[in-house]
């Protein structure tokens, strides 16, 4: 009997796939080019499993070309790259990799928050450009953290890890979710989104992308924030209206922003690229070797569960 085929959409750590030896035929994308829809359909033709990263759109049109597919294992906690409703309709399981990237992603939110607020990229560029000729008392003044108010929109696992770090900085932490969480170790207070935006010195977004969260933060929301505020998006592009954000930074309605995710990435809005008050990173929130190994490991465990005839442990459409 032929072995099931696991089609891997992007290059991943090869040792992470060794477990499939003798269990499945693994089809890799060694050139690591981001495949377009046709390329992906060819690459995954006849596969039972698609082991994919979050940059790969898995649309209904693609699924229609993959009648043998039974499982889509996303190597990411977010899965808005996959048309889950279409997969469910076609009887295809979808899995993700929660928990294992929580701490690394929370670290990255803090890296962006501090780099943006304390003007790390801007002042470094100025120094590299040879413009530093004398120290000055008011050189590159930035944001305070201790004693300020942090607002987290999207208080899931990553939001709670960000909140824990904030307590170490001596900050007050408030959050907004649709519903308040039970009082817990996160030590944060639920407030309305309006109050959070209006009163916080720093705002971090950890919101999954959906039709509902599209442009959750647009021009009116940005206008309601303190002009001294720092905004960080560590969740998904499209939750922020990037053009409106660039305009708010340009007009001084917002002090700074740190963005790891973008609308239409890897393209970045040109106004953001031109905006020195924005610290921009290429969707590397979970990019540490240990975390990426753990993400791949959990995605592979989901596939192994399926190969063993069990329900994959992180199924999102059970
Ligand atoms: C995730 O896991 O969702 C991260 O954004 C990596 O893609």
Question: Average pLDDT of 172-190?
Answer: 90
Number of residues that this document lists for the chain? 318
Of the residues 160, 236, 277, 292, only one is catalytic, namely: 236
Distance 77 CA to ligand 1 centre (A): 5
Pocket of ligand 1 (CB under 6 A): 54, 76-78, 101, 285-286
Identical fold for domains 5-99+289-307 and 102-280, yes or no, is yes
For this structure, is 236 an active site residue?
A: yes
pLDDT score at 184: 75
Q: What CATH topology corresponds to 5-99+289-307?
A: Rossmann fold (3.40.50)
Q: Please tell me the residue having the least CA distance from ligand 1 atom 4.
A: 76
For this structure, is 178 an active site residue?
A: no
Q: Please tell me the residue having the least CA distance from ligand 1 atom 2.
A: 76
Q: Please tell me the residue having the least CA distance from ligand 1 atom 3.
A: 78
Report residue 216's pLDDT band, with 50, 70 and 90 as the boundaries.
very high
Report residue 183's pLDDT band, with 50, 70 and 90 as the boundaries.
confident
Cβ contact 207:213 at 8 Å = yes
Report residue 182's pLDDT band, with 50, 70 and 90 as the boundaries.
confident
Ligand 1: which of 52, 81, 105 to mutate, most ligand atoms within 8 Å of CB?
105
Determine the atom of ligand 1 nearest the C-alpha atom of 97: 2
Q: Please tell me the residue having the least CA distance from ligand 1 atom 6.
A: 76
Residue with tokens 């705002």: 203
For this structure, is 149 an active site residue?
A: no
Distance 286 CA to ligand 1 centre (A): 7
pLDDT score at 300: 98
pLDDT score at 186: 77
Is the confidence at residue 17, as pLDDT, over 70? yes
Share of the chain above pLDDT 90, in %: 95
Residues 58-70: tens digit of each pLDDT: 999 999 999 999 9
* CATH classification code of 102-280: 3.40.50.720
pLDDT score at 316: 98
pLDDT score at 101: 98
Is the confidence at residue 230, as pLDDT, over 90? yes
Question: Average pLDDT of 28-51?
Answer: 95
Residues 93-144: tens digit of each pLDDT: 999 999 999 999 999 999 999 999 999 999 999 999 999 999 999 999 999 9
State the pTM of this model. 0.96
Report residue 15's pLDDT band, with 50, 70 and 90 as the boundaries.
very high
Is the confidence at residue 1, as pLDDT, over 80? no
Question: Average pLDDT of 253-268?
Answer: 97
Is the confidence at residue 255, as pLDDT, over 90? yes
pLDDT score at 33: 87
Share of the chain above pLDDT 70, in %: 100
CA angle at 221 for the pair 218 and 222, rounded to the nearest 5°: 80
ipTM over 0.85: yes
Residue bearing the bigger pLDDT, 293 or 318: 293
Per-domain boundaries in the chain: 5-99+289-307, 102-280
Q: What are phi and psi of 205, to 5 degrees?
A: -105, 125
Burial of 230 (0-12, 13-18, 19+ CB in 10 A): buried
**Cα gap 159→167, rounded to integer Å:** 13
pLDDT score at 274: 98
Q: What is the DSSP string of the chain?
A: -PPPEEEE-S---GGGGGGGTTT-EEE--TT-----HHHHHHHTTT-SEEEE-TTS-B-HHHHHT-TT--EEEESSS--TTB-HHHHHHTT-EEE---STTHHHHHHHHHHHHHHHHTTHHHHHHHHHTT---S--TTTT-----TT-EEEEES-SHHHHHHHHHHHHTT-EEEEE-SSPPPS-TT--EE--HHHHHHH-SEEEE-----TTTTTSB-HHHHHHS-TT-EEEE-S-TTSB-HHHHHHHHHTTSSSEEEES--TTTTS--HHHHT-TTEEE--S-TT-SHHHHHHHHHHHHHHHHHHHTTSPPTTBS--
Is the confidence at residue 149, as pLDDT, over 90? yes
Ligand 1: which of 76, 209, 293 to mutate, most ligand atoms within 8 Å of CB?
76
């Amino acid at each position: 009997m032929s072995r099931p085929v696991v089609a891997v959409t992007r290059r991943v750590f090869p040792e992470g796939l060794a477990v499939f030896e003798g269990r499945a035929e693994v089809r890799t994308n060694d050139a690591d080019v981001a495949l377009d829809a046709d390329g992906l359909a060819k690459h995954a033709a006849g596969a039972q499993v698609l082991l994919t990263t979050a940059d790969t759109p898995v649309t209904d049109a693609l699924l229609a070309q993959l009648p043998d597919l039974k499982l889509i294992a996303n190597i990411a906690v977010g899965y808005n790259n996959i048309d889950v409703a279409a997969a469910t309709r076609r009887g295809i399981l979808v899995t993700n990799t929660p928990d294992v990237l929580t701490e690394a992603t929370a670290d990255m939110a803090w890296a962006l928050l501090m780099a943006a607020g304390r003007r790390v990229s801007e002042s470094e560029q100025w120094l590299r450009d040879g413009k530093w000729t004398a120290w000055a008392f008011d050189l590159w003044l930035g944001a305070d953290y201790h004693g300020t108010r942090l607002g987290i929109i999207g208080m899931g696992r990553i939001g709670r890890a960000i909140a824990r770090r904030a307590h170490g900085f001596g900050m007050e932490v408030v959050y907004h979710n649709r519903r308040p969480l039970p009082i817990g170790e996160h030590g944060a207070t639920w407030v309305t989104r309006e109050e959070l935006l209006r009163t916080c010195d720093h705002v971090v977004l950890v919101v999954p992308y959906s039709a509902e969260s599209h442009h959750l933060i647009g021009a009116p929301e940005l206008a309601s924030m303190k002009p001294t505020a720092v905004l960080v998006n560590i969740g998904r592009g499209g939750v922020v209206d990037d053009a409106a954000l660039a305009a708010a930074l340009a007009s001084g309605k917002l002090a700074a922003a740190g963005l790891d995710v973008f609308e239409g990435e890897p393209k970045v809005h040109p106004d953001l690229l031109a905006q020195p008050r924005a610290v921009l990173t290429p969707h590397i929130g979970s990019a540490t070797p240990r975390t990426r190994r753990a993400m791949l490991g959990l995605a592979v465990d989901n596939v192994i569960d399926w190969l063993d005839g069990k329900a994959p442990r992180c199924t999102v459409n059970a």
